[in-house]
Amino acid sequence: MHVFKPCDLIHLTTQLAKNHHRQLLVLCGDHDWAIKQYACLVDTGAEQTLTLSTHKQLQHAQWPEHLHEILGQEFSVALYDGYSGITPNKLAALSGTVKAGGLLILILPELSKLDNWIDPAIKTWLSYGYQTNTSLFLKRWQRLIPSLPISVLSQKYGANLNIPASQHNHQDNALQTQCRVISTLRAQLQQGCTSPSLLSADRGRGKSATLGLLVASMPEQSFIICTIQYRAIKTAFKHLALELGIEYKGYEKQLANLHYVPPDQVLTMPLDDTIVLVDEAATLPVPTLVAIEQRASQCIFSSTLVGYEGNGRGYTLKFADYLSKKYTTYTQLSLTQPLRYNHGDPLEFAINRLFALDRHFQTDAIATLNSIHFTELTAPQLERDDSLLQQTFALLVTAHYQTTVNDFRQLLDSPSQRLFAIMQQSNILGVCLVNIEGQLEEAIQSAIIQGTRRPQGHLLPQQLFHVQGQAAFLSSRCARIVRIAIAPQQQKRQLGTQLLNYTEQQLSEAVDYFGSSFGCDPQLLQFWQNSGYQLVKLGFKKDKSSGQYAAMVIKSQSALQNQQQSLQNYFEKTFYYQLMNHYRDLPCSLVLKMILKFKEKPLCEALLAQFRFVVTKNTNLEQYSPLIWQVLTTRPTLLSGLPRISQQLAIRLLLQNNTKGWVQQTLSLHSKKQFDIALQALVKELYARISIKSE
């Protein structure tokens, strides 16, 4: 058994400090040995040390539940105890706190044992009823670690230190680049340029600091900075305070000329001439970014391309595509060299490689799709073929703003997941990620029904049960479509629909129903409706980042047709009430997509006669709105084909029960006469469509 002393690391740490680099050091061995060895090597109580572990013998150790308790700090040494459970988000975030010249120490069993070792965190990726005796995620690590610039201290095999060669310090170049970026942005803002700017960088490049310094350089100008989590922009406030020589305590939401506002509030508050800075823009959906861009007179979108909590290379592609269509030119700037440590940092390289964050999805368009084929990709297959695995994860990162490195582990270690793909030779064009849920035993069903259990996973069956109490959804087997991701350059070629059809064909004999839950927007809802899925539930809380409600759609086999029909009928009956109360701000286009799929009833003769009478009169809103509402909710397809202003008036005023004044302002019907004319036109257009459909 080997024992190591602090002097054994002097050469390594001296060279790291000289190079302004950081490195990953793996302590391999029994847990107790590694804990004692760590205490011998490091002063665990030092201010510049952070220890993440649940081990009771480790002094000053902590195991934070949330990443914001880690980020925004800097340490010379940070320890992650793998025996406490390997959560990729937490480990990757911890790596970002290590200062230049420092070490990230990771405790693991001997590398030779990793393929048969199960860490406590594995339960995070196991739905109730599923088990596993191996971690393919850790098996991949077993293969990769010896090939990376990582130092290893092994209880059994001794020391294998990776001493880096001397390297020139590139930080002066990085600072010069930062100054040029600030000068460019300031000049554009001062010149009144209305086209937005995009600033991108990987972590450690000083992106948030750049925003703070930009604000400090324009003290007379008011700025709003927004992102999902306030902690993500503390660095901007910190550098603003340092530049202006004022105090920042770490929690102020307003400092000098900079004010923090959450994204959803930016969409509703008056902005006037305030410049909007959107940091970590890749963690927001593109529709939210578009809405902010449309409201702000001047704005800058800044984002991390490789992140720990949410990745978003897709943001760069999709949002840039929107901007290129709207503006002749717009500015794209990047910070490529790190500021907090030197170029070629071994720790950054190792973390990116271990979590497949170093692979950018190839977005070149393919001229022909004749040679494509559909297939299922298994977790063992992905573990063996790193190129295939990297392609898959890179596509998921590109496609969705909330993909994290936790999802990377789930891709390999969740036995309830299935993955289907469109491929052209060895290239992936699209993937469909599915989670198999339901078919719960009677004891668990009873506990769910009584409200005493909420078993991990099985999201769709449990949520469907809680709508009407139909236990059939708990006992039946379900395929929940977690995500469909198509290569950006291959979109709008029906590949998503083809892949979904293939997935359904492969699973149709194994499941009783398919379903999905997603942030509801008109385009996504249309996709699911076109594929035969029925909307059966709409959430009541908006997602903080997207501002969207979660929609739930299902498509059942014959055995569950009655249960699906019951859910659909219930949703349709309750939706019109909720529309007048909770959903009064739903976009008209989304409301229209929903109600045009609702079942229609014939208009009774008495209702028709009353409506015929109203057409000949000057419509009195207060007197006749209940009648018009009844017509619309009985025959919602009457709205189809109406002029846009009439559709919006019908939805905003009558179905959503917004105030007359608000509707007038929103639809630019500024005078009473304009409003009355529009309302009368709506009534006549509805009657005309009733007459046409009655013929």
pLDDT digits (tens, 9 = 90+) for 408-422: 999 999 999 999 999
How many whole angstroms separate alpha carbon 301 and alpha carbon 192?
A: 16
How many whole angstroms separate alpha carbon 584 and alpha carbon 587?
A: 9
Q: Is the confidence at residue 352, as pLDDT, over 60? A: yes
How many whole angstroms separate alpha carbon 238 and alpha carbon 121?
A: 35
The pLDDT value given to residue 401: 60
pLDDT digits (tens, 9 = 90+) for 49-106: 999 999 988 888 999 888 767 776 889 999 999 999 999 999 998 998 999 999 999 9
What is the share, in percent, of the chain residues with pLDDT greater than 70? 94
> Between 332 and 447, whose confidence is greater?
447
The pLDDT value given to residue 118: 93
At 610, list the tokens: 């009353």
The pLDDT value given to residue 168: 73
The pLDDT value given to residue 253: 94
- DSSP β-ladder status, 49-52 and 75-81: parallel
Angle 660-665-667 from CA coordinates, rounded to 5°: 90
CATH annotation of 171-335: 3.40.50.300
Question: Is residue 81 within 8 Å of 103, Cβ to Cβ?
Answer: no
Kindly report each contact of residues 298-301 with a partner whose C-beta sits within 8 Å and lies 24 or more positions away, as own/partner.
Answer: 298/189, 298/192, 298/193, 298/194, 298/196, 299/196, 299/197, 299/275, 300/185, 300/196, 300/197, 300/198, 300/199, 300/211, 300/214, 300/275, 300/276, 301/196, 301/197, 301/198, 301/199
Q: Is the confidence at residue 399, as pLDDT, over 90? A: no
How many whole angstroms separate alpha carbon 523 and alpha carbon 338?
A: 39
Q: Is the confidence at residue 398, as pLDDT, over 90? A: no
- pLDDT-based confidence at residue 478 (cuts at 50, 70, 90): very high
Highest mean pLDDT among 191-205, 318-332, 509-523: 509-523
Question: Is residue 287 within 8 Å of 546, Cβ to Cβ?
Answer: yes
The topology (CATH level 3) of 6-160 is Rossmann fold (3.40.50)
pLDDT digits (tens, 9 = 90+) for 551-600: 999 999 888 999 999 999 999 999 999 999 999 999 999 999 999 999 99
- DSSP β-ladder status, 275-278 and 299-304: parallel
Highest mean pLDDT among 185-194, 498-507, 677-686: 498-507
- pLDDT-based confidence at residue 230 (cuts at 50, 70, 90): confident
User: Is the fold of 6-160 the same as that of 171-335?
Assistant: yes
- pLDDT-based confidence at residue 312 (cuts at 50, 70, 90): low
Contacts for 410 with CB less than 8 Å, ≥ 6 apart: 125, 417
pLDDT, the chain, mean? 90
This prediction's pTM: 0.88
Q: What size, in residues, is the chain?
A: 695
The pLDDT value given to residue 66: 80
What are residue 302's DSSP bridge partners? 199
Q: What is the average per-residue pLDDT within 610-635?
A: 86
- pLDDT-based confidence at residue 351 (cuts at 50, 70, 90): very high
Looking at 259-359, list the stretches that DSSP marks H as alpha helix, in order from N- to C-terminal side. Answer: 263-266, 286-295, 313-326, 346-354
CA dihedral 283, 286, 292, 295 (to 10 degrees): 180
- pLDDT-based confidence at residue 357 (cuts at 50, 70, 90): confident
Q: What is the average per-residue pLDDT within 239-248?
A: 94
Contacts for 211 with CB less than 8 Å, ≥ 6 apart: 199, 225, 233, 236, 277, 279, 300, 302
Question: Is residue 424 within 8 Å of 371, Cβ to Cβ?
Answer: yes
- DSSP β-ladder status, 23-28 and 150-154: parallel
Domain residue spans of the chain = 6-160, 171-335, 372-595, 605-694
Distances from the Cα of 440 to the Cα of 374, 416, 426, angstroms: 31, 13, 38
Q: Which amino acid is at 323?
A: L
How many whole angstroms separate alpha carbon 320 and alpha carbon 326?
A: 10
The pLDDT value given to residue 305: 66
The topology (CATH level 3) of 372-595 is Aminopeptidase (3.40.630)
Q: Which amino acid is at 541?
A: K
Contacts for 12 with CB less than 8 Å, ≥ 6 apart: 23, 25, 151, 161, 162, 163
